[in-house]
Amino acid sequence: MNGQLAENLKKAETHLRRFRDSVTAHYINGEPSPGISGETFDNLTPTDNTSLGLVAAGSAQDIDRACRAAQEAFPAWSRTSGKERRKILNRFAGLVERRAEEISLVESMDCGQPIRFMRAAAARGAENFRFFADKAPEAGDGLSLHQDQHLNYTKRTPIGPVGVITPWNTPFMLSTWKIAPALAAGCTVVHKPAEFSPLSAMLLAETSREAGLPDGVWNTVNGFGESAGKALTEHPAIKAIGFVGETVTGTHIMRQSAATLKRIHVELGGKNPVIVFDDADFERALDAVVFMIYSLNGQRCTSSSRLLVQDGIAGRFLAALEQRVNSIRVGHPLDPATELGPLIHPSHLEKVMGYMDAAREENAIIAAGGVRVAELGPGNYLRPTLFRNAANSMKIAREEIFGPVLTAIPFADEEEAVALANDTSYGLAGYVWTGDSGRGIRMAEALEAGMVWVNSENNRNLPSPFGGMKQSGIGRDGGDYSFDFYMETKNVCIAHGTHRIPVLGR
C-alpha cells in the first residue's frame, strides 16, 4: 500500500467512525431522527463490500413526519426575502468548502468513486449552492407583457414542499444540484438519497443546520425506493418531485405521483454517442473519448458509451484507444493515483459483467478488459472494457451499462453517423469531433439529444439547460430552468381603465 493511500485511509476512518458506531439516522425538522419502525439496513463500501455501518430504513410514517415538517416550514421560508436566502445558502456553500476533505473521503468510501474526482465533486457542490444563492433574490422575477389597454406582468412563487430523489453515482454533487435551486426558490425539501450511498446526504443535512436553515426546511429520509421513495412520491403535501435515476424508475415516479397530480422532473438514463470524424483533432478526441466513459467509474449519465468512429481513422483510433484503456489505473478509490475505482455494489458488478457474455454471444470483440481485477481483493473492481466489431443493433449498443464499458461502432459518412446516433431510445447527450465547423453545426442540429457538445467533453455551464429527450427524461435543470420547475408562474392583468367591457342585460 502506498503512503498516500494509507494516509487517506487513516483520515477517512476518523470520519467514518461515527457511521460505524451508531445507526445513521434520518434528519427531520432540524434534528436526527432514528426512524419509527427501528428497521435498518447495512451500508457496504464497494472497496471490499464490508459494512460501513447500519442506516435507518425509512417507512411511510417517517416520510409523513418529514413531509409534515416541510409543510409547516414552508410559509415562513417562502416569505423569507431572497437576500436572506442568498445569505444562508452562501453560508452553506462556505461550510461545504470547509468540510470538502471530509465529504470527499466519506463519499469515495461510500460509492467507490476515485478521490481525484470526488474532491472536484465536493467543490462543485459548493459552487452549485453559490450559484443558486446568488440567483435567489431574482427567483420571483417575471415578464412584463403589454397590450393596448392592459398591462400584464408575471411573477413566480415557490410551488411548495418538494421531494428530491437521487441516485448513487455522484450522490453529493447531484443532491446539491437538485436541492440548491429548490431552497433558493423558497421551497422546502424532503430528500430521499440512494440506499447504496447514504452517507454524504447526512453530512449535507447537518450542514444545513449549521448554515442557519430553519427547522423543517431541509429533511432527509433514508431508505429504499419501493418504500420510502414511493411514499414520498405519493404524499399529498409534496407538490413536485425532482428525480434522478433509471428510466424504468422514472416511469414508476410518474405513475406514483399521478394520483396527487404532482409536477415531476425526471432525469434518466442514456446511451450517449461520441462521434469522431476523420478530420477530428486526433489527440483531443482520444483524450475526451477516454475521459467521458472511464471517468467516474463509467457510472455517469452523460458518459459517451457508444463510440461512432469514421472508417478512415477507425483502425488507428481504436488501436490508440486500446492502448490507453489498458493503461488506465484501476485501484482503491482513496489512492490519488487511481483513475478507476470499484463499481457501486456486487449486484451492479454482476449486471455489468452480464454484458461481457452478451458481447461474446453477439460476436463483438472484447478488445480490452472484460474481467474483474482479482489482485485488488473482494471489492467490485473491473478492468476498463472496450468492445470492438459491434453493431448498433447489439444489446451492448442499445442498453445503458452504466460502467466503464465502451462499445465502438464504425461508420462511413455523416448521414450514417446521424442515423446510428439517433437509433436509440435515449436522448440525453451527444458529442461530435470534427475539424469542419459547418459539419459540427449540422450534427448538433440533427442529433436527438438534450445536450450536444462539439469538440468538447461534458463541460457544465450552470445557467445552461441540463436534461434529456426521449427516454432520457422530462424537464431541464440549470439556471432559470430549475426555478421554472420549482415555482408557479402567475400572470396579473391590469386594465388601463379605457377598454370597452362587453355589456349584458342592461
Which residues lie near ligand NAD (CB under 6 A)?
A: 165-169, 174, 192, 194-195, 224-226, 229-230, 233, 244-246, 249, 252-253, 256, 267-270, 301, 400, 402, 428, 468, 473
Instruction: Tell me the closest approach of the beta carbon of residue 255 to ligand NAD, in angstroms.
Output: 9
CB contact burial 384-420 (16+ within 10 A = b; e otherwise): bbbbbbbebebbbbebbbbbbbbbbbbbeebeebbeb
Query: What CA–CA distances, in Å, run from 41 to 26, 121, 198?
Result: 13, 26, 11
Cβ-based nearer residue to ligand NAD, 135 or 235:
235
Instruction: Tell me the closest approach of the beta carbon of residue 34 to ligand NAD, in angstroms.
Output: 20
- CB atoms inside a 10 Å sphere around CB 22: 12
Instruction: Tell me the closest approach of the beta carbon of residue 145 to ligand NAD, in angstroms.
Output: 33
Instruction: Tell me the closest approach of the beta carbon of residue 55 to ligand NAD, in angstroms.
Output: 12
CB of 26 within 8 A of CB of 62?
yes
Which cell goes with 306? Answer: 457508444
CB contact burial 290-329 (16+ within 10 A = b; e otherwise): bebbbbbbbbbbbbbbbbbbbeebbeebbebbbebbeebe
* Interatomic CA distance for residues 96 and 86, integer angstroms: 15
Instruction: Tell me the closest approach of the beta carbon of residue 442 to ligand NAD, in angstroms.
Output: 26
* Interatomic CA distance for residues 245 and 376, integer angstroms: 29
Nearest residue to ligand NAD, by Cβ distance, number only: 225
Residue 227: which of 63, 403, 419 has the closest Cα? 63
CB of 233 within 8 A of CB of 239?
no
Which cell goes with 429? Answer: 447527450
Catalytic residues: 267, 301
Instruction: Tell me the closest approach of the beta carbon of residue 15 to ligand NAD, in angstroms.
Output: 23
The letter for the amino acid at 408 is: A
